[in-house]
């Protein structure tokens, strides 16, 4: 299912707590929010695709989505991870240490 199909079929929705960190937060303009998204979104990548449609600030923040990391309920996950049981999803850029 494409993100556009999920949006169109969005009769059923779900609420998620979404957190943004570092430059993702700066571009989105907030550190977190509760979003009501289509229940048909299945993966982290689907959620990112949907978030991009919410406005130019989201489109800019997720423009290079391959760089963005995600955590579901404080556990790092891949873009293909299911969001079915998620309560909280955090997005952040890659972190380097030194």
- Binned at pLDDT 50, 70 and 90, residue 96 comes out as low
For the whole model, what pTM was predicted?
0.85
Phi, psi (rounded to 5 degrees) for 29? 95, 15
Mean pLDDT on 38-65: 97
The whole-chain average pLDDT of the chain stands at: 89
Question: How far is it, in rounded angstroms, from Cα 65 to Cα 79?
Answer: 9
Largest CA distance in the chain: 47
Question: How far is it, in rounded angstroms, from Cα 54 to Cα 2?
Answer: 16
Give the DSSP H/E element, type plus range, for residue 51: helix 44-52
Give the DSSP H/E element, type plus range, for residue 92: strand 88-92
Contacts of 31 (CB under 8 A, 6+ apart): 19, 20, 21, 25
């Amino acid at each position: 299912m494409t993100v556009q199909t999920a949006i169109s079929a969005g009769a059923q929705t779900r609420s998620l707590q979404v957190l943004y960190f570092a430059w993702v937060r700066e571009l989105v303009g907030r550190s977190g929010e509760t979003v009501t998204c289509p229940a048909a979104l299945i993966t982290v990548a689907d959620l990112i695709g949907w978030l991009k449609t919410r406005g130019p600030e989201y489109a800019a923040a997720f423009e290079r989505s391959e760089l963005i990391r995600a955590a579901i309920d404080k556990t790092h996950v891949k873009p293909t991870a299911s969001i079915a049981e998620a309560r909280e999803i955090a997005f952040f850029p890659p972190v380097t240490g030194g």
